[in-house]
Structure 1
Amino acid sequence: MADQLFLDGMGAPPTGSDRLFFAVLPDDYAAGQADRFRQRFCGERKLTGTQVRTEHLHVTLHHLGDHAGVPQDMVAKAGAVAAALRVAPFEVEFESVMSFVRGGQNKPALVLTGDIGLAALVAFQRALAVAMIKGGLGQWVEKSFTPHMTLVYDPQVIQKQSIRPISWAVRELVLIHSFLGQGRHVALGRWPLYGNTSMRPREGELMP
């Protein structure tokens, strides 16, 4: 991973008022850790940009588009896809911080990211992609995925550096409705993870 990552399409101008996406969320303890790290890091680096609200911290897996209103047929399909997954809970570990340059916008995103500690998350995102294709949502599958959790948008570019790891057990998949421009997120559905399919990477297996 480069010290400064450019994400094609990230931050593209919205085409509607209502954004839908699949995500995993940190538990309360991990969200608190991330927030404490953010406040300390922003203070040290004098970052004064827009912070993501602690209760909105998330890792996006697949976007389901921007819409004028919430398309209920898509919500129903997404619910069926999520309910059909049979994946056991798994651990994620973010051990780096860096800036992502957002396509079409001036402010980079300061994000938590990582490597081997996120291999299981990459595998889960791919499993969800397969389920989306089978469930009629293939057009929304993210063809590339760099797992990250955005903390703040700030013009200062931070090179990749290691941090004390922030980790949690992913136990559910969430469908989020974001009210664009309003700073509101609503969970339209939550599906607990259970099953025999493990997302744990094999020994020596690295995240691509």
Structure 2
Amino acid sequence: MTVHALFFCLRPDPGTAARLSGVSDDVARRFGMRVRPPRTERLHVTLHHLGWYDDETDDAAVMAEVRQLAEQAAAALRHGAVRVHFDQLLSFTRKPRNLPLVLSGGACLDEVRAMRAALGDRLHAAGLRTDPHFTPHLTLFYDDLAVEPQPFIVPGWTATDFLLLDSLQGQSTHVELGRWPLA
């Protein structure tokens, strides 16, 4: 059985992803953390999570319906390119181990928040629910050591498109299902 997690995201271009992986290495050395080899193709900023579905139950039909509605909502969105920059480093500490170390930020991520809200309006119009809680972030890696929130300026990129991905749980794989321009 495969569990699928559908989500919309902004993904850095390959050059930016490689640079952000270098940031991961620097941060790991600075804090004495262990970082695995970078998975640059998995770096992203999640916009909306659309649920988990397994492919051995009726979830497959539900997932197909959610995907169709999500793709229609994405196609209806009209939004300009989005600047994605970071000014904070921290660990999310909702669990005791394997903590996500993330880049996040304040006003520097307002364009991401605005784009997410616009996409959320389209998703609601299509009949899909979204989570109102949102902390824009890019996960660098996971470690058991917690890093307290601190200023950490990292230039990001200008997103010119957004994607719908299927994350195959436990396989460290993201499958691109769709891509829409931001212009």
- Tell me, yes or no, whether TM beats 0.5: yes
Matched ranges for 1:1-208 at <5 A: 17-48=3-34, 53-69=39-55, 70=60, 71-103=63-95, 106-138=97-129, 141-194=130-183
- Tell me which protein shows more helix as a share of its residues: 2
The offset of 1:166, in angstroms, is 2.1
Q: Could you list the per-position Cα deviations for residues 12-53 of structure 1 after superposition, in whole angstroms to 9, with x for gaps in the alignment?
A: xxxx61111111111222212210011111022221155761
Secondary structure of the structure 1 residue equivalent to 2:41: helix
Whole-Å Cα distance in 1 between the matches of residues 142 and 38 of structure 2?
8
Whole-Å Cα distance in 2 between the matches of residues 29 and 38 of structure 1?
14
The offset of 1:68, in angstroms, is 1.1
Runs of 5+ consecutive residues of structure 2 not aligned to the other structure: none
TM-score (norm: length of structure 1): 0.79
Runs of 5+ consecutive residues of structure 1 not aligned to the other structure: 1-15, 195-208
Secondary structure of the structure 2 residue equivalent to 1:75: helix
Whole-Å Cα distance in 1 between the matches of residues 102 and 38 of structure 2?
10
> What is the letter of the counterpart of residue 127 of structure 2?
G
The aligned length equals 177
> What is the letter of the counterpart of residue 124 of structure 1?
M
The offset of 1:167, in angstroms, is 1.6
TM-score (norm: length of structure 2): 0.90
The offset of 1:95, in angstroms, is 1.8
> What is the letter of the counterpart of residue 178 of structure 2?
G
Aligned alpha-carbon RMSD (Å): 1.8
